[in-house]
């Protein structure tokens, strides 16, 4: 019996699917509010939200051989190989039936990015980057996770540091290709979504809404 990884090898880019799906990478530091905004995008624009972390956790929970390997790597503090995460994303895209996806929290670094494009032969339509000052993200996380050991100030700052060192090169790569849509994420949720909506509303529709017809 083939594993999830083997099944994905038929791939998003294989004979099973002639048309490549639309993929948008969603990046932002911890506490930037990207999860909340992804839920809004799904509701208003019909995308499917895929979280790399959720897929890894689901694979572990499944008890598969692959899941056990992932669990052991995480326990040992090792980074799960890009290919493993990419194959899970590929399989989720393939099995879903939708043709447009938000990939949340991935790629986490340059190596992830290059591997994703090589394995899937898909380039993202654009990268939605939730840009939020560190002080604001810190305030939100501390407010949201009162009493949680893993969200103390020291751990939070380590997570910020990892995000800056790993993910910013990915953002810079796509910025050079004109593919980054930066969202000012420090504002209230509804105001942030107005900015997000402007990114997702097709130009033609914007014109239609803004045109005044005089009879």
Annotated binding site for ATP: 31-36, 144, 187
Q: Which amino acids are annotated as binding site for a ribonucleoside 5'-phosphate, given as ranges? A: 57, 78-80, 105-108, 148, 159
Q: Which amino acids are annotated as binding site for CMP, given as ranges? A: 112
Phi, psi at 17, each rounded to 5°: -135, 115
Q: Which amino acids are annotated as binding site, given as ranges? A: 31-36, 57, 78-80, 105-108, 112, 144, 148, 159, 187
């Amino acid at each position: 019996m083939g594993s999830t990884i083997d099944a994905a090898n038929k791939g998003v880019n294989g004979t099973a699917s002639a048309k490549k799906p639309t993929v948008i990478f969603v990046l932002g530091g911890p506490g930037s509010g990207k999860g909340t905004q992804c839920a809004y995008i799904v509701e208003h624009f019909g995308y499917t939200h895929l979280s790399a972390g959720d897929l890894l956790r689901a694979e572990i929970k499944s008890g598969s051989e692959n899941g056990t390997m992932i669990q052991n790597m995480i326990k040992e503090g090792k980074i799960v190989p890009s290919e493993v995460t990419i194959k899970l994303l590929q399989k989720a895209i393939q099995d879903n039936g939708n043709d447009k996806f938000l990939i949340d929290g991935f790629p986490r670094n340059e190596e992830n990015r290059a591997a994703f494009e090589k394995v899937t032969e898909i380039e993202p339509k654009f990268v939605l980057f939730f840009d939020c000052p560190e002080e604001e993200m810190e305030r939100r996380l501390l407010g949201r996770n009162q009493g949680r050991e893993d969200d103390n100030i020291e751990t939070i700052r380590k997570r910020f540091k990892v995000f800056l060192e790993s993910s910013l090169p990915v953002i810079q790569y796509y910025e050079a290709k004109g593919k980054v849509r930066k969202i000012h994420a420090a504002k209230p949720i509804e105001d942030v979504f107005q900015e997000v909506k402007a990114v997702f509303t097709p130009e033609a529709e914007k014109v239609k809404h803004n045109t005044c017809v005089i009879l």
